[in-house]
Amino acid sequence: QSVLTQPPSASGTPGQRVTISCSGSSSNIGSNDVYWYQQLPGTAPKLLIYRNNQRPSGVPDRFSGSKSGTSASLAISGLRSEDEAGYFCAAWDGSLSAVLFGGGTKLTVL
Amino acid sequence: QVQLVESGGGLVKPGGSLRLSCAASGFTFSDYFMTWIRQAPGKGLEWISYISSSSRTIYYADSVKGRFTVSRDNAKNSLFLQMDSLRVEDTAVYYCARDRSGARGDFDFWGQGTLVTVSS
């Protein structure tokens, strides 16, 4: 099954704002909600954003999500060293009857 | 608190079989879709299977269809993944997760994962 398209890497300095994109198609992002996951090194993924732009309790408001058409974005403002992690987008694909994940973006805080 | 604990991983030869389990606690297991997701070493996440709360609806990724079978026992709060005809490319950490929105990708709780290594 195909994946959603994310840049493999992103970087920023402390305090900066970075965005990570996720591109799909009409059968997944275009017609279903997008979810974002954060994976710290050596740990299981954690839900970061649900239903395109909602934050679970405990997730700082520095993290925000958006969706437009067949693309979505995750923005992290006020970058901190502890944000260094892998970030994955996900969406249900109605044509494939499958959840698709993006390939993941490794965020480096310089 | 919600807990998901996987077990059953290990080393298996190509063509062999393995059965993974996921023990759930801290929530009404029978109310939720459950899923298996895997991550090959150094790679991204790959969704592989969903099972609905009643087991009536099941989905598989093409990569495992016909080889893997998902099941659940709501009386024992347990999720299972029977993996047959294993291939080297099935080597990964396998996570179970809860989807609180049905089959949508809304995985709000994950287990810690169990490593499956397929090698001769």
Q: Which chain B positions have a beta carbon within 8 Å of A104's beta carbon?
A: 44-45
- Residue window 16-45, chain A: list those with CB within 8 Å of chain B: 32-33, 35, 37, 39, 44-45
Among A92, A97, A100, A105, most B C-beta atoms within 10 A, so best to mutate, is A92
Q: Where are the beta strands (DSSP E) in chain B?
A: 3-7, 10-12, 18-25, 33-39, 45-51, 58-60, 68-73, 78-83, 92-99, 107-110, 114-118
Q: Nearest to residue B73, comparing CAs of B6, B116, B112, B22?
A: B22
Residue of B nearest to A34 (CA): B105
Q: Which residues does A18 contact at the CB level (< 8 Å), separation at least 6?
A: A10, A11, A12, A75, A76, A79, A107
Q: What is the pLDDT of residues A33-56, one digit of tens each?
A: 999 999 999 999 999 999 999 999
User: Distance (Å, rounded) from C-alpha B87 to C-alpha A37?
Assistant: 28
Residue of A nearest to B103 (CA): A92
How many contacts, defined by CB atoms under 8 Å, are there between A and B? 67
3-state secondary structure B4-16: EEEECCEEECCCC
In the block, tokens 């275009």 appear at A30
Q: What percent of chain B has pLDDT over 90?
A: 96
> Averaged over B18-30, what is the pLDDT?
98
Q: Is the pLDDT of residue A2 over 80?
A: no
Q: What is the pLDDT of residues B71-97, one digit of tens each?
A: 999 999 999 999 999 999 999 999 999
Which pLDDT score is estimated for A1? 52
Q: Is the pLDDT of residue B59 over 70?
A: yes
User: Distance (Å, rounded) from C-alpha A35 to C-alpha A47?
Assistant: 8
Inspect the interface and report whether the beta carbons of B61 and A98 lie closer than 8 Å: yes
